[in-house]
Amino acid sequence: NAGVTQTPKFQVLKTGQSMTLQCAQDMNHEYMSWYRQDPGMGLRLIHYSVGAGITDQGEVPNGYNVSRSTTEDFPLRLLSAAPSQTSVYFCASSYLGPGGNTIYFGEGSWLTVV
């Protein structure tokens, strides 16, 4: 199994440009999410989805859109990139087992907005 796959790994955008970070998982997990990681800030939840057709906002949703048309895919869209969106983005998937929710992370996407 590939687990959680994110593309691209690295991207440089100009302010105002749009782009989509792709995320796919092959574990048939119900729950998928996007986090951003900034120095000294830990991971902050951007958007999440508890199943196909269902999405909701996390802690820092502004400037980002998501959709969940299939169980496998959960793309993150930046409609008009800003320098404040320079960050490392992690996609994750999980299922709710008897012990709790264990998250499987992708390898990250490094985004620089100039």
Partner 1 sequence: SQQGEEDPQALSIQEGENATMNCSYKTSINNLQWYRQNSGRGLVHLILIRSNEREKHSGRLRVTLDTSKKSSSLLITASRAADTASYFCATDLSGGSNYKLTFGKGTLLTVNP
Residue 106 backbone phi and psi in degrees, to 5: -75, 180
With 0-12 / 13-18 / 19 or more C-beta atoms within 10 angstroms meaning exposed / middle / buried, residue 77 is: middle
Question: CB of 62 within 8 A of CB of 48?
Answer: no
Asked if 108 interacts with partner 1 (CB under 8 A), we say yes
Asked if 90 interacts with partner 1 (CB under 8 A), we say yes
Question: CB of 87 within 8 A of CB of 12?
Answer: no
Asked if 100 interacts with partner 1 (CB under 8 A), we say yes
Give the dihedral sign, CA 92/98/50/73: positive
**Which residue number, 14 or 100, has a Cβ lying nearer to partner 1?**
100
Asked if 50 interacts with partner 1 (CB under 8 A), we say yes
**Which residue number, 27 or 45, has a Cβ lying nearer to partner 1?**
45
Asked if 104 interacts with partner 1 (CB under 8 A), we say yes
- Smallest gap from Cβ 48 to partner 1, in A, equals 7
Which residues in this chain contact partner 1 in the complex, by CB under 8 A? 4, 31, 33, 35, 40-45, 48, 50, 58, 90, 94, 96, 99-108
